[in-house]
Amino acid sequence: MNPQNGTKLLRFAVIGCGAVAQAQHIPNIVRSPRMVLHTCVDLDEAVLAKCREVSGALHVRTDFQGAIDDSEVDVICLATTEKLRLPVIEYAAKAGKAIYVEKPLAKTLQETIEIQKVVHTSGVPFFVGHNRRCSPAMLDAHRIFREHMKNPKPCPWRWRREVLPALPEDGTPSVSVRINDDWYSWKAWVLDKSHAPHGPMLFEMTHFTDICNWFLDDEPVEVFAMETGILNQAVIIRYRGGALATISIGSNGSFGYCKELYEFTGNGAYLAVDHMLEVRTAGIEGVPSTITYPMVQDRHPQIGTEGGVSGWLAKKRAACDEATARHDPALQFTAEPDKGHACALERFVDQILGQGPEVCGVDSSVLATRVAFAAIRSAQEHRPVALSEI
Ligand SMILES: NC(=O)c1ccc[n+]([C@@H]2O[C@H](COP(=O)([O-])OP(=O)(O)OC[C@H]3O[C@@H](n4cnc5c(N)ncnc54)[C@H](O)[C@@H]3O)[C@@H](O)[C@H]2O)c1
């Protein structure tokens, strides 16, 4: 029990305590007044020692079954790579435990569908780690864009040159997602087909297909994709209502610049989410043209104090200069955008306690995953692929 308000504390078992668990889930659970880091499960004893000694896990073990069987454990946070998903989800669902699982939901389409059945049958609370849905910048942008798509206020200065015929696609939204990544930063398992058979076309793409589905609030019907191999992908998604989303991933890029730019247009408006640091709008009455968001783990609070993209770039330049001077590339990391990892766990607790809605459940995640599999097939077969084929 939380001594301050008498509410139940949720006891988490983190299964797979590697990079994302160490950087996000474990510290976020430890910091939360509503969660307890009960058990850490990993195959690597050195990782488990860190979980116990640095993070204060109450228990550590190497078998996920033991953690799930423990009657003290309320919630499973599954953060292994996609090599291990269905066996853990099946076991936890049978035990009635709530499940937070990292993206991608599964390694294959068949496993994705089996997981969906298991979750539906058991009815356990479920959350897939498409954490961008919980980023403060994304939440504001989604609210502003959806409101404008539902109830557009006429823009008083929009230039209508002359009387034009009505077009059926007038107002139809469009999304562009640009990803600047640097593959030199990847782990070797990313290139191992037994671990991640579809590479970033699956494990990165589902973040972006999920965002497009969420913002457009429409049914994806067709996908066309090309790729150079594993490093560059271009994907176009068509929606039932006519909207288009284009996703461009370039992995020969640089960490010295913002990774993610989302641009939305519709009903005479423009909205950009730049690296989850800044939301910019035009043509939406009553909404600020620029909103900036706090960064996390800022080692350079005296630099780039204006915040937003320009503030972040100034901090980044200072950090990269330190990395060069001290021959330590790890020093390039400084203020990061809030991508919503901590908020995702908090909103999952709300969902489990019946205090909030489902945020990213199995059905929306399966849809985002099916779009990614349509893109994989399209790139392989050099043709547009209908979602109904997947
Ligand atoms: N949402 C995000 O922002 C985000 C960011 C990075 C990674 N991810 C996803 O998180 C997942 C993990 O990525 P990572 O970079 O942390 O990988 P990682 O390789 O660093 O960590 C995986 C951990 O799982 C452990 N493990 C393997 N088999 C296990 C088993 N049977 N039982 C218990 N532990 C086991 C490994 O020992 C390792 O410590 C991937 O699916 C990745 O796509 C998500």
Probe ligand 1: pick from 55, 81, 204, max atoms within 8 Å of CB?
81
Q: Are residues 322 and 253 in the same domain?
A: yes
| Strand-pair partners of 126 | 99
> 270 CA distance to ligand 1 centroid (A)?
36
Q: Are residues 110 and 238 in the same domain?
A: no
CATH at residue 65: 3.40.50.720
> 80 CA distance to ligand 1 centroid (A)?
3
Q: Are residues 28 and 112 in the same domain?
A: yes
Q: How confident is the model at residue 258 (pLDDT cuts 50, 70, 90)?
A: very high
pLDDT at 228 over 60: yes
> 327 CA distance to ligand 1 centroid (A)?
28
Probe ligand 1: pick from 59, 84, 102, max atoms within 8 Å of CB?
102
C-beta of 79 in contact with ligand 1 (< 6 A): yes
C-beta of 103 in contact with ligand 1 (< 6 A): yes
Domain annotation covers residue 344: no
Q: What's the burial of 165, exposed, middle or buried (CB within 10 Å: 0-12/13-18/19+)? A: exposed
Q: What is the pLDDT of residues 108-129, one digit of tens each?
A: 999 999 999 999 999 999 999 9
Q: Are residues 228 and 189 in the same domain?
A: yes
> 202 CA distance to ligand 1 centroid (A)?
15
Ligand 1 nearest atom to the CA of residue 41, by list position = 33
Take atom 32 of ligand 1 and give the residue whose Cα is closest: 42
C-beta of 80 in contact with ligand 1 (< 6 A): yes
Across 172-183, average pLDDT: 98
Take atom 1 of ligand 1 and give the residue whose Cα is closest: 129
Query: Is there a contact between 10 and 28 (Cβ–Cβ < 8 Å)?
Result: no
Q: What is the pLDDT of residues 95-105, one digit of tens each?
A: 999 999 999 99
How many angstroms separate the CA atoms of 270 and 148, rounded? 10
Q: Are residues 81 and 230 in the same domain?
A: no
Across 221-245, average pLDDT: 97
Query: Is there a contact between 75 and 99 (Cβ–Cβ < 8 Å)?
Result: yes
Take atom 33 of ligand 1 and give the residue whose Cα is closest: 42
Q: Are residues 188 and 82 in the same domain?
A: no
Domain annotation covers residue 184: yes
Matching residue, tokens 């058990």 = 39
Provide the domain limits for residue 48: 10-130
How many angstroms separate the CA atoms of 222 and 387, rounded? 6
- The whole-number pLDDT of residue 94 equals 97
pLDDT at 3 over 60: no
Q: Are residues 25 and 122 in the same domain?
A: yes
Domain annotation covers residue 1: no
C-beta of 25 in contact with ligand 1 (< 6 A): no
How many angstroms separate the CA atoms of 390 and 387, rounded? 5
> 285 CA distance to ligand 1 centroid (A)?
44
> 81 CA distance to ligand 1 centroid (A)?
4
Q: Helix, strand, or coil here: 125? A: coil
Domain annotation covers residue 377: yes
Domain annotation covers residue 207: yes
- The whole-number pLDDT of residue 263 equals 98
- The whole-number pLDDT of residue 196 equals 83
- Alpha helices by DSSP H, listed for the chain, are 19-20, 26-31, 45-53, 64-69, 86-94, 109-122, 136-150, 200-203, 205-216, 308-325, 341-352, 362-381
Q: What is the pLDDT of residues 348-369, one digit of tens each?
A: 999 999 999 999 999 999 999 9
Across 142-164, average pLDDT: 95
pLDDT at 290 over 80: yes
Q: Are residues 179 and 328 in the same domain?
A: yes
Q: Are residues 85 and 185 in the same domain?
A: no
pTM: 0.94
Probe ligand 1: pick from 44, 80, 132, 179, max atoms within 8 Å of CB?
80
Take atom 40 of ligand 1 and give the residue whose Cα is closest: 81
Number of domains present in the structure of the chain: 2
How many angstroms separate the CA atoms of 362 and 191, rounded? 27
Q: Are residues 68 and 121 in the same domain?
A: yes
Q: How confident is the model at residue 202 (pLDDT cuts 50, 70, 90)?
A: very high
pLDDT, averaged across the chain: 96
Domain annotation covers residue 159: no
Probe ligand 1: pick from 25, 26, 39, 42, max atoms within 8 Å of CB?
42
Domain annotation covers residue 364: no
Domain annotation covers residue 65: yes
